[in-house]
Amino acid sequence: MIFIVVKYKVKPEEAETFIEKNRAFTEATRAEEGNLWFEWSRSVEDPNEFVLVEAFKDDAGEAHVTSEHFKRGLETMRPLLAETPRIVSRMVEGEGWDRMGELQVD
The fold of the 2-91 domain, in CATH, is Alpha-Beta Plaits (3.30.70)
pLDDT at residue 86, as a whole number: 98
Residue 67's pLDDT is what? 87
Q: Which residue has the higher pLDDT, 20 or 70?
A: 20
pLDDT, mean of residues 17-37: 96
- pLDDT of 97 reads 93
Q: What is the pLDDT of residue 99?
A: 93
Measure the CA–CA gap between 50 and 15, rounded to whole angstroms.
9
| pLDDT tens, residue by residue, 50-66 | 999 999 998 887 778 88
